[in-house]
Amino acid sequence: MVSSRIGVVPQGLPLRALTTAPTTKLQRTPQNSRYCIEEEVRVQVFARQAAYVCMWPPRQERHKGGRVFACQLHLPSETLEGETKRRSAECTMASIEEILEKNITDEDARNEVQRILYGGWLKRLDLPLNTCPAGESTAKVAGYAFERSKEQLRAPRVVRIGAIQHKIALSPSAPLKDQISAAHKKIGDIIDAAGACGVNVLCLQEAWTMPFAFCTRERVPWCEFAESAENGPTTKFLSQYAKKYAMVIVSPILERDLEYSEVIWNTAVVIDQNGEFLGKSRKNHIPRVGDFNESTYYMESNLGHPVFDTIYGKIAINICYGRHHPQNWMMYGLNGAEIVFNPSATIDGLSESLWPIEARNAAIANSYFTVAINRVGTEEFPNEFTSGDGKPSHRTFGHFFGSSYVTGPDGVRTPGLDRVSDGLLVVEVDLNLCRQVRDHWGFRLTQRVDLYAKSLRRYARNAGYDVGE
């Protein structure tokens, strides 16, 4: 017999579903940010002996007022402690790829798993380095090359894409000037490595010069990070590197719009290979979930879905939360994008299971390359803040899990950078693959934009939007 809070469960009874365990307290460390915050941690235990809904008493006695009574079990302390330790350890897992490499020792089996999960093995690039300086730390460097088919009438359009993920360089408690300076130093080091690796187009993570402070809801001092997109200090800083390496650089920052009442935007600045400001794209979709609180700082973009015609190809930027909206991805494709970057800042408990899917699906559906980039680490703020979900006050938003990757229009994707480290991902692609896949699958031929437009116009009009005639 197993005692529960509302009665007794007979041994051998059919057990189903899931219940939530009692709470416990753990000491937080930088490595176990998700599960070991200094607050009560609820642990959902999937072990058969601990996680179930009681199907007793019989069905006719279980209903009262249309509801089914479920028993919550008191777990043995050793079960709870063991499960908590297991889940804590998950936070330090570097990557799925690391687990596959370690546990699948048979080469044929590993190749088959890679084919099913990622579409096949990609050739590793022979890069001049596998680590590089990153300010006071070190970044891992990984490189892959997509297979390409030669065409009879078109020359290859080979481009090396670079993606940088990184932790903040200094604590959010440090003076803002020092934080920006340290971020510039860290990224400057990694861009030097990207230049040595022959990167042509490089993208940084969302709001890369600052901690992701929107969770705090504090306007001061975080709004001070906002700067001019055209000629602010960060654009000037990166322009030197763009010119030095003939590299197009995408720099997502917090923008202060000096021409429009100093309104703040979440903006990606595009700097061309000559170090000149080429244009900017703004975040179209602002999250209103969890601790993000971004809508208290800036509004949705007023720029639509711009595509930038660079010397290396046509690029676009779908910032962070826009990846949850398939129509957003589609519009960049309809406007001619060949590479769409998704610079992000997202945490493990919220969307890590979605992360490998969304950018990859967009690449397939729109016949272009996608580059998903996420920041890394846990950021602890000076003041506690609260959520709208009843959580106790806390100082951290969650663990940013990195895992940046690139997907081709054929659905093949690279392994991701890891979940816990600064990293530079270098990927060689042939942009001719976009047309080749489009011709093969015929998605543009078979899509019904006319039907979508009619339904969207009708829906938008009924929802009160001004969509014209």
Catalytic positions, written as ranges: 206, 283, 320
d(CA 312, CA 424): 19
The number of residues making up the chain comes to: 469
β-strand partners of 314: 309
The continuous run of DSSP H or E covering 182 comes out as helix 176-196
Could you identify the residue written with the tokens 């003041």? Answer: 383
In degrees and rounded to multiples of 5, residue 136 shows phi and psi of -85, 0
Q: Could you give the C-alpha distances from 355 to 279, 315, 345, 410, 433, in angstroms and in order? A: 28, 21, 11, 18, 24
d(CA 439, CA 282): 31
- Would you say 371 and 342 are in contact if contact means Cβ atoms under 8 Å apart? yes
Number of neighbours of residue 173 by Cβ within 10 angstroms: 11
DSSP 77-119: HHHHHHHHHHHHHHTT---HHHHHHHH---HHHHHHHHHHHHS
In degrees and rounded to multiples of 5, residue 284 shows phi and psi of -80, -30
Number of neighbours of residue 1 by Cβ within 10 angstroms: 7
Helix axes 233-245, 176-196, angle to 10 degrees: 10
3-class state of residue 149 by DSSP:
coil
> What are 264's two structure tokens?
């703040």
- Would you say 381 and 222 are in contact if contact means Cβ atoms under 8 Å apart? no
* Residue 455 identity: S
> What are 266's two structure tokens?
């979440």
DSSP alpha helix (H) spans, 344-417:
348-351, 355-366
d(CA 301, CA 83): 44
